[in-house]
Structure 1
Amino acid sequence: MCYYNAERFATFMSLQFGIDVDEEQVGEESVLLYKEELDENLLTEELLSISPEMVLVHSCVYNKDEHEWLVCVASNVDTNQPLFLICLKNGKKIHEKVLLRDKENEK
C-alpha cells in the first residue's frame, strides 16, 4: 500500500530542501479524486497521461518561517501504485517527480 505520511514527508523535505520538519506539526489528508478533478494548472501533460480515472492523493502540509509547504503523492486507487509527487511552496509548484515506472523503464 502506498501511503505518504508525516515521516516520509520529513525525510523528503530534509533530503530535497535541507529543511528539518517537526512531524507533529505536519497536517495529513487523503482524498479520492476523479481525473477531471485534478488541477490542470499544477499537473503537466505527462502527469495527467499516467493518471487513471480515479486517484488517491495523500497530502502533507507544513508551515515554517512564513512559508507553507504542501507535498502530494497520487496513487492508483486499484493498485496502490504511486504515480507522481508534486511539491508546492506558498501555492506555487517547485518540484515534481514521476514515481510510476513502466516495465520497460525498469530493465
Structure 2
Amino acid sequence: MCYYNAEHFAIFMSLQFGIDVDEEQVGEESALLYKEELDENLVSEELLKIVPEMVLVHYCVYDNKEHEWLVCVASDADTNQSLFLICLKNGEKVHEEILLSGEGNENDT
C-alpha cells in the first residue's frame, strides 16, 4: 500500500537534498485525480505513460522561509501501487523518480 507522509518526506529531503525538516511543519494532503487532471508541465511524458486513468496523489509541503518544497507521490487508485515521485522547489521541478518496481529510472533536472 502506498502512503506518503511527513516522516517519509523528512527522510527524502535529508537523503536527497541534505535538508533537515521538522515533521510538525509539514503539511499533508491527498487527492484522487483523473489522468487528464495531472499538470503536463510537471508530469513528464515518460511518467504519463505509466499513469492509469485514476491516481491517488499524496502531497507534502514544507516552507522553511527560504524555499517552499512540495513532494507529490502518485499511486494507482485501484491497486495502491506507487507510480512516481515529483519534487518541486519554489514551484520548479527539481527531481522526478519512477517508483514502479523494476523501473530504476531517476532523473534530476
Length-normalised TM-score, structure 2: 0.92
Give yes or no for the alignment of 1:8 onto 2:15: no
- Name the structure 1 match of 2:86: 86
How far did 1:95 drift?
Answer: 0.2
C-alpha separation in 2, matches of 1:4 and 1:101: 17
1:3 is paired with a residue of what secondary structure? Answer: coil
How far did 1:40 drift?
Answer: 0.3
More helix by share: 1
2:2 is paired with a residue of what secondary structure? Answer: coil
Task: State how 1:49-88 maps to structure 2 within 5 Å.
Answer: 49-88=49-88
How far did 1:101 drift?
Answer: 3.0
How far did 1:7 drift?
Answer: 0.2
Provide structure 1 residue ranges, at least 5 long, that are not aligned to the other structure: none
Give the counterpart letter for 2:15 in structure 1.
L
What CA RMSD, in Å, does the superposition of the two structures yield over aligned residues?
A: 1.3
Provide structure 2 residue ranges, at least 5 long, that are not aligned to the other structure: 105-109
Divergent runs of 4+, >4 A: none
Length-normalised TM-score, structure 1: 0.93
- Name the structure 2 match of 1:26: 26
C-alpha separation in 1, matches of 2:85 and 2:16: 13
Q: 1:38-64: per-residue Cα shift (whole Å, max 9, x none)? A: 000111111000000000000000001
**Identity rate of aligned residues, in percent?**
79
C-alpha separation in 2, matches of 1:54 and 1:65: 34
Number of aligned positions between the proteins:
104
Larger Rg: 1
